[in-house]
Amino acid sequence: MTVSGVNLDLTRVRPYGDTLDDGWVQMSLTLPVPSGPEATRAAEALCEKMGLDDVRVVYSRDIAGTFTFFVVYGKCVHSVDFTAIKVSKVNMRHMTFDEINEFIATCIGRKIVVVAACTGSDAHTVGIDAIINMKGYAGEYGLERYPWFVAYNLGSQVPNEALVAKAIEVGADAILVSQVVTQKNVHIDNLTNLAELVEAEGIRDKVLLIMGGPRIDHELAVELGYDAGFGPGTLPSHVGAFIAQELARRMGVWAPAEKA
Residues labelled catalytic: 135
From CA 233, how far away is CA 119, in angstroms rounded? 21
From CA 91, how far away is CA 68, in angstroms rounded? 43
From CA 77, how far away is CA 159, in angstroms rounded? 47
Q: Are 53 and 40 in contact (CB under 8 A)?
A: no
Q: Which residues contact 41 (CB under 8 A, 6 or more apart)?
A: none
- Return the closest-CA partner of residue 29 out of 37, 18, 40, 38: 40
Q: Are 118 and 156 in contact (CB under 8 A)?
A: yes
From CA 249, how far away is CA 244, in angstroms rounded? 9
- Return the closest-CA partner of residue 118 out of 151, 152, 158, 162: 158
- Return the closest-CA partner of residue 227 out of 126, 97, 92: 92
Which residues in 21-144 belong to E strands, given as ranges? 24-31, 52-63, 67-76, 112-118
